[in-house]
Chain A
Amino acid sequence: MSKIDLTQHPPFVYSEYKSSLLRGPKKPLVKLHDICEGQPRIQLGERQGGLTNQFSVPEIDNNLLLNSTQGGEPFGERMVVSGKVLDRWGHPQPGVLIEIWQANASGRYRHKTDEQNAPLDPNFSGVGRCITDADGEYRFYTIKPGAYPWKNHPNAWRPSHIHFSIIGESLADRLITQMYFSSDPLLEYDPIFTATPQANKQRLISKLDLSLAETDFALGYKFDIILNGAKVAPTDSEELEQPSEHP
Chain B
Amino acid sequence: MNTPNLLTPSQTVGPFFTLGLQQSASLEQNRSPLTNVISGNGHKISISGKIMDGNLEPIPDALIEIRQPDNLGKFNNPNFLGFARSHTGYNEEKEFLFDTVKPNASSVYGAPHICVVIYMRGLLTQLYTRIYFSDELEANSRDQVLSMIPERRRGTLIAQQKENIGKTIYQFDMYMQGDQETVFFHP
Q: By the criterion CB–CB under 8 Å, are B184 and A25 in contact?
A: yes
B7 contacts A228, C-beta separation under 8 Å: yes
- Report if A111-B16 is in contact (Cβ < 8 Å); known contacts: A23-B54, A30-B149: yes
Most buried by B among A22, A99, A113: A22
Task: Decide: B75 and A10 in contact? CB cutoff 8 A.
Answer: no
User: A81 on the interface (CB 8 Å rule)?
Assistant: no
Rounded to whole angstroms, the CA-CA distance of A73 and B43 in the bound complex is: 49
- Tell me if B6 is interfacial: C-beta within 8 Å of chain A: yes
Q: Is the CB of A174 within 8 A of B65?
A: yes
Pairwise interchain contact B176-A23, C-beta atoms closer than 8 A: yes
Flag B1-33 by CB within 8 Å of A: 1 or 0 each.
Answer: 110111111111111111111000111011011
Give the A-B pair count, Cβ closer than 8 A.
258
A27 touches B181 (CB 8 A): yes
* Interface residue ranges of A75-114 to B (CB < 8 Å): 86, 88-90, 97, 99-101, 109-114
Among candidates B4, B9, B186, B187, residue contacting A197 with C-beta atoms closer than 8 Å:
B9
Q: A25 to B177, Cβ gap below 8 A?
A: yes
Contact with B along A163-182 (1 / 0, CB 8 A): 10100000110111110000
Please tell me if B155 contacts chain A, counting CB pairs below 8 Å.
no
Q: Can you name 27 A-B residue pairings with CB atoms under 8 Å?
A: A8-B6, A9-B9, A11-B125, A17-B124, A22-B53, A22-B55, A22-B176, A24-B177, A25-B177, A30-B186, A42-B107, A61-B30, A101-B20, A110-B27, A111-B18, A125-B30, A127-B19, A127-B30, A165-B13, A171-B117, A177-B10, A177-B11, A178-B11, A203-B9, A224-B8, A227-B8, A233-B2
Residues of B within 8 A of A (CB): 1-2, 4-21, 25-27, 29-30, 32-34, 53-55, 59, 61, 65, 67-69, 75-76, 81, 83, 106-107, 109-110, 113-115, 117, 119-128, 144-145, 148-149, 176-177, 181-187
